[in-house]
Chain A
Amino acid sequence: MAWLLPGAGYLLIGQRTRGLTVGISVLTLFLAGLLIGGVRVIEVPGFDGTGQRQRDVRVIHEIQEKPWFVGQILTGPACLIGGWFSIDLAHQRIPRSHGRVNEIGTLYTAVAGMLNLMAIIDSAYRGASRQG
C-alpha cells in the first residue's frame, strides 16, 4: 500500500501529517523531475529508444543498461504511468532530452523513489512497533 501511494503507509497507522508530508514531497519531486527533463527520462526496461519491445531481453543486462529505473519504480504507479507515456512518446519519435536537464530530471525521479523506499521501511517499522 505504501508503494501504491507514497505516504500511505503512515496514513494506515494513523500518522496523517507525516503521511501527507512525505507523500506530497515524494510525488512533487517525481513530477518536478518529469517536468525538468521531460517524461522520457523514464527509460523502461525491455523497450528500445524507439519504443519497440525488445526480444530476448536479459533482465540483469537491462538493469545494467537502465539502472535509474530501479530508483524510479520505487515511486509506485506514478512511474508506471510515466513509463507508459515515455514509450508512447518514443513511438512518436519525440527525442529524449540531453545534457544537464536530462541528468537532473533523472536524478529527481530516482531520488523521489529512494525517499519513498525509506518511507516504506520506516512506516512498516513503526506499524510493527505499534503492534508488538
Chain B
Amino acid sequence: MPAMVALLSQVWSRAPFVAPLPVWNYWYLLLLPLVAAIAVVYKSIRCGSMRQVPREAAILFVVILVVMVLAAGALAGLVTLLEM
C-alpha cells in the first residue's frame, strides 16, 4: 500500500501527458489494460448480442494472458538453453 501511495504521488507530481508515467518497475502490469481493451473491443465486434460480450471478453482476456505467459516462459527457456 505505501508503494502504491508513493507511485501515485510520483504520478501527480509530474505533468500528465507531458512527462511519461514513472512505471519503469511495473511496466509488465501495463499488459493487463491493453489485453482487456483488445478483448472487449474484439468481442464487441464479433458477438451477435452484447449480452455475450462480458463473458466472452473475460475468457479471451484469460486466454491471451495464459498464452503470453507460456510464450514468455518458452522464450526464456530457449534463451537459457542457448546460453549453456
Contact = CB atoms under 8 A, between A and B. Distances in A.
B38 A21 contact: no
Interface stretch (A23-31, A51-59, A63-71, A72-80): A23-31
Contacts of B40: 21, 25
What is the interface of chain A mostly: helix, strand, loop, or mixed? helix
A12 to B, nearest CB: 16
Nearest to A115: B41
Contacts of B2: none
Interface string B11-32: 0000011111101100100100
Interface of B: 16-21, 23-24, 27, 30, 33-34, 37-38, 40-42, 44-45, 50, 53
Interface of A: 15, 17-18, 21-22, 25-26, 28-29, 32, 34-39, 85, 89, 94, 97, 99-102, 104-105, 107-108, 111-112, 115, 118-119, 122
